[in-house]
Amino acid sequence: MTLDTGMENELTRAEISAMRRSYGETGLDSLAEDPFAAFSTWLTEAHENPIIVEANAMVLSTQDHKGLLSSRTVLLKDLSEDGFTFFTNYSSRKSKAMHSQPHVTLLFPWYAMERQVIINGRAEQISRSESEEYFATRPWNSQIGAWASRQSDPLESRSELEDRWKAAAQKWPEGSTVPTPPHWGGYRVFPDAIEFWQGRYSRLHDRLRYERANVNENGVTAGTNEIKWEITRLYP
Ligand SMILES: Cc1cc2nc3c(=O)[nH]c(=O)nc-3n(C[C@H](O)[C@H](O)[C@H](O)COP(=O)(O)O)c2cc1C
């Protein structure tokens, strides 16, 4: 039986149900004790792997003031011991959600490497100067695009968006300095937990969860400033 979309070579439901891969032999035993170092190694390996498209793409999940969840892809643009940074429109649906509920999840789906990383943390707006510094490195047409988009608002027609782009392009022609829109900037997600998943044979996958040991529920490090991580192995 098919879902009858009219497509040729369409997968049957039985074929979809039979889709599975046999996962590999390599485990997580050699992962670094510092989760940022471990993540950095995996990001580098994903970036160097020709099968992985946009290794820095991650699924950001948020919860709005009504408790409704939403997910979307954003691009990781900076990584440091302070957290995971991405850029977006501060008036977007995700930004409104993070404003009322800063706890978010980031998920890196590196399926081709039988790997997944899930990060739980708190999102905070980065400073204006950091956003401006990154905005200045963006290609001109992306800079103009940031001015043109009222991200997540209803749009009457595509031509309205293109007209807004042209108006911004006229105001700041190519080669001129495009200012950072006030409604655009970065968020940094400071992790409370980072979980690494590696597919293994017979569905005996490896999972290692790194959790901040000395942090209270407001994200404040207790006692010393040094962050301690507890590593727990989880059943797959
Ligand atoms: C590969 C990929 C990368 C994306 N990167 C970003 C990004 O870095 N920032 C962003 O605001 N939206 C990005 N988007 C678009 C978002 O997924 C989303 O459509 C948009 O941010 C609006 O989300 P919202 O209405 O939930 O706020 C990306 C989409 C894809 C598929």
Question: pLDDT per residue over 174-186, tens digit each?
Answer: 999 999 999 999 9
Between the CA of 135 and the centroid of ligand 1 the distance, in Å, is 16
The maximal CA–CA distance of the chain, rounded, in angstroms, is 63
Nearest to 223 by CA among 233, 213, 232: 213
142 ligand 1 Cβ < 6 A: no
Residue 76's pLDDT is: 97
More confident residue, 222 or 96: 96
Q: What percent of the chain has pLDDT over 70?
A: 93
pLDDT beyond 70 at 222 = no
pLDDT beyond 90 at 56 = yes
Residues labelled as active-site residues: 203
Residue 30 falls in which region: left (phi positive, over 0), alpha (psi -120 to 50) or beta = alpha
74 ligand 1 Cβ < 6 A: yes
Q: In the predicted model, what is the mean pLDDT of residues 198-219?
A: 86
Between the CA of 56 and the centroid of ligand 1 the distance, in Å, is 13
Q: Residue 106 contacts by C-beta under 8 Å, 6 or more apart in sequence?
A: 58, 59, 60, 61, 84, 118, 119, 121, 189
More confident residue, 179 or 11: 179
Residue length of the chain: 236
**Euclidean distance between CA atoms 184 and 151, whole angstroms:** 10
Q: In the predicted model, what is the mean pLDDT of residues 132-139?
A: 97
Q: In the predicted model, what is the mean pLDDT of residues 188-194?
A: 97
Nearest to 210 by CA among 224, 191, 226: 191
Amino acid at site 1 = M
Q: Which runs of consecutive H residues, i.e. helices, occur in the chain? A: 13-17, 35-48, 93-100, 128-135, 140-148, 158-171
Atom of ligand 1 nearest to the CA of 86: 8
**Euclidean distance between CA atoms 79 and 151, whole angstroms:** 25
Indicate the pairing of strand 206-212 with strand 229-233: antiparallel
More confident residue, 165 or 226: 165
Q: Residue 116 contacts by C-beta under 8 Å, 6 or more apart in sequence?
A: 107, 108, 109, 110, 196, 197
pLDDT beyond 60 at 2 = no
pLDDT beyond 70 at 206 = yes
User: What are the structure tokens assigned to 162, written together?
Assistant: 């293109």
Query: What is the pLDDT confidence band of residue 35, given thresholds at 50, 70 and 90?
Result: very high
Residue 7's pLDDT is: 79
Is residue 84 within 8 Å of residue 119, measured between CB atoms?
yes
Q: Which domains does the chain have, with CATH numbers?
A: 25-136+182-233 (2.30.110.10), 139-179 (no CATH)
72 ligand 1 Cβ < 6 A: yes
pLDDT beyond 90 at 224 = no
Residue 226's pLDDT is: 76
Q: Residue 80 contacts by C-beta under 8 Å, 6 or more apart in sequence?
A: 36
